[in-house]
């Protein structure tokens, strides 16, 4: 007897790892290398399509707390991430190629994980199965999930371009982290004065966009964190200066002044040969990306190794169909995990895979599911996908706002975040006895 996991992405790999480490054999189904989605290129598992950053690593941040909880629960992905991290200030960023390779090797070497390279079109009805096919689930399986759950929602997600380090004009750029926090070599900053910014802005808002098979991009439902930069810019001339191009906390050493606007480039690999354009997700045509982004002085000769793209994304109406253990409310053998459940972000998806794996294994052994307390970040995310918020269900990433309030309430922001984190880890460690 085995448990099935469909999809070897972030959530699927974590789920398979948790199950196998509990002595249960796993059939891990992955359609690569025989078939790829429009956004995936790498044959390895846990491929990072958008950013190579897992966000903040500070213990007193929501993203950092989530990762600390995952480490306590034995996260496979964080083991691999720590082994191939690249400097990124206060964030945990990785060499994406090495990261996927490390995860794949760990999964393939586990004696209880059987890799099945096959596209799945139907969810097996009689075996315990975790569906972790991600935001680019194939059409046939999407139809199957729609029939199982109803109410599949669709939107489009975007990725930022990646450029070569040696094509950046360092006479017009400089290394620095915002407010001098973390490694000063983590980011390359490309400053613009007012005239340069306005020239760039005017070309950006009028640039030609790629056709998404007749879809009106303006009216699509898109995560704010993945909003194409050209659509964001249309909200107003200063929108980018208060968003991805904000100059706050950055001083240009050549002028000793804060730039009017700044584009940050984050290291993409350990060798420091590639950098991605932070916050510059885009749906511009490839030629237009080259033309418009090269207006930024430091990128006048930029060599693009990957242009930004947009791709389809789907998630289910989880509060109506999923319990907090990621099992269908109908009580079947089917679990879901990952971004398809409405958790937003790499680590959030992976964390859902951990919990789905733990609870699928417990169901296999005839044990009751484990629901972590809402005072923990993972527990709060699990609660959110099963309950939702106000109005239509929208994806949610880790944030302190979804945690149960402190008692007594701590007013100072920094002290409050530290208190949230300390309480969460204490409660999680106390809960580990039942895991």
Please report the pLDDT score of residue 5 as a whole number.
Answer: 98
Residue pair 293/302 in contact (Cβ under 8 Å)? The answer is yes
Please report the pLDDT score of residue 154 as a whole number.
Answer: 60
40-99 residue pLDDT tens: 778 899 999 878 999 999 999 999 999 999 999 999 999 999 999 999 888 999 999 999
Please report the pLDDT score of residue 214 as a whole number.
Answer: 43
Distance of CA 15 to the CA centre of its chain: 17
Q: Residue 129: in which H helix or E strand, if any?
A: strand 129-131
Whether residue 143 is predicted with pLDDT greater than 90 in this model: the reply is no
E strands in 278-352: 304-306, 310-315, 334-336
180: left (phi over 0), alpha (psi -120 to 50) or beta: left
Whether residue 215 is predicted with pLDDT greater than 50 in this model: the reply is no
Please report the pLDDT score of residue 389 as a whole number.
Answer: 62
Range of lowest pLDDT (143-147, 284-288, 301-305, 341-345):
143-147
Query: Domain 2-157+312-434: which CATH class?
Result: alpha beta
The set of long-range contacts for 34-39, using a CB threshold of 8 Å and a minimum separation of 24, is 34/117, 34/118, 34/119, 35/119, 35/138, 37/136, 37/138, 37/311, 38/136, 38/309, 38/311, 38/312, 39/136, 39/159, 39/309, 39/311
Residue owning tokens 């290398």: 33
Task: Name the DSSP class of 219.
Answer: G
- CB proximity list for 187: less than 8 A, separation 6 or greater: 88, 89, 175, 176, 177, 178, 264, 265, 266, 267, 278
Please report the pLDDT score of residue 222 as a whole number.
Answer: 56
Of residues 104 and 145, the one with the higher pLDDT is 104
372-429 residue pLDDT tens: 999 999 999 999 999 876 556 777 889 888 888 888 888 898 999 999 999 999 999 9
Burial class of residue 224 in the structure, from the number of CB atoms within 10 Å of its CB (0-12 exposed, 13-18 middle, 19+ buried): exposed
User: Domain coordinates of the chain in residue numbers?
Assistant: 2-157+312-434, 162-308
Whether residue 172 is predicted with pLDDT greater than 80 in this model: the reply is yes
pTM, entire model: 0.76
Please provide the average confidence, as pLDDT, over all residues in the chain: 89
Give the pLDDT band (50/70/90) at residue 344.
confident
260-299 residue pLDDT tens: 999 999 988 777 888 999 999 999 999 999 999 999 999 9
Whether residue 158 is predicted with pLDDT greater than 80 in this model: the reply is no
Please report the pLDDT score of residue 138 as a whole number.
Answer: 82
150: left (phi over 0), alpha (psi -120 to 50) or beta: left
Range of lowest pLDDT (222-231, 310-319, 404-413, 423-432):
222-231
Residue pair 431/375 in contact (Cβ under 8 Å)? The answer is no
Please report the pLDDT score of residue 287 as a whole number.
Answer: 96
């Amino acid at each position: 007897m085995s448990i099935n996991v469909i999809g070897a992405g972030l959530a699927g790999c974590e789920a398979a790892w948790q199950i196998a480490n509990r002595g249960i054999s796993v059939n891990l189904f992955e359609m690569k290398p025989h078939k790829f989605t429009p956004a995936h290129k790498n044959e390895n598992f846990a491929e990072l399509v958008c950013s190579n950053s897992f966000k903040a690593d500070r213990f007193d941040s929501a993203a950092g707390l989530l990762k600390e909880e995952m480490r306590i629960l034995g996260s496979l992905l964080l083991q691999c991430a720590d082994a191939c991290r690249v400097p990124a200030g206060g964030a945990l960023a990785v060499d994406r190629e090495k990261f996927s390779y490390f995860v794949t090797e760990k999964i393939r070497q586990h004696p209880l994980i059987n890799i099945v390279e096959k596209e799945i079109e139907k969810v097996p009805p009689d075996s315990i199965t975790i569906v972790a096919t991600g935001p680019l689930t194939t059409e046939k399986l999407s139809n199957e999930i729609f029939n199982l759950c109803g109410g599949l929602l669709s939107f489009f997600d975007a990725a930022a371009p990646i450029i070569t380090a040696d094509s950046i004009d360092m006479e017009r750029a400089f290394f620095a982290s915002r407010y001098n926090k973390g490694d000063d070599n983590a980011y390359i900053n490309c400053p613009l004065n007012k005239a340069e910014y306005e020239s760039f802005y005017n070309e950006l808002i009028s640039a030609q966009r790629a056709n998404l098979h007749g879809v009106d991009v303006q009216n699509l439902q898109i995560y704010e964190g993945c909003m194409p930069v050209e659509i964001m810019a249309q909200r107003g001339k200063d929108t980018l200066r208060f968003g991805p191009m904000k100059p706050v906390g950055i001083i240009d050493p050549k002028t000793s002044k804060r730039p009017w606007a700044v584009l940050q480039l984050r290291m993409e690999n350990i060798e420091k040969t590639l950098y991605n354009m932070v916050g510059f997700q885009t749906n511009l045509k490839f030629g237009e990306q080259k033309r418009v982004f090269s207006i930024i002085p430091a990128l006048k000769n930029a060599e693009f190794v990957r242009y930004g793209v947009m791709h389809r994304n789907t998630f289910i109406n989880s509060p109506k169909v999923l319990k907090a253990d990621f099992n269908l409310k109908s009580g079947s053998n089917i679990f879901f995990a990952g971004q398809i459940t409405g958790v937003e972000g790499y680590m959030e998806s992976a964390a859902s895979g951990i919990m789905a794996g733990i609870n699928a294994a417990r169901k296999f052994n005839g044990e009751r599911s484990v629901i972590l307390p809402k005072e923990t970040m993972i527990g709060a995310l699990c609660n959110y996908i099963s309950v939702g918020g106000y109005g239509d269900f929208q994806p949610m990433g880790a944030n302190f706002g979804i945690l149960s309030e402190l008692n007594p309430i701590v007013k100072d922001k920094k002290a409050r975040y530290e208190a949230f984190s300390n309480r969460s880890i204490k409660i999680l460690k106390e809960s580990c006895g039942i895991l």
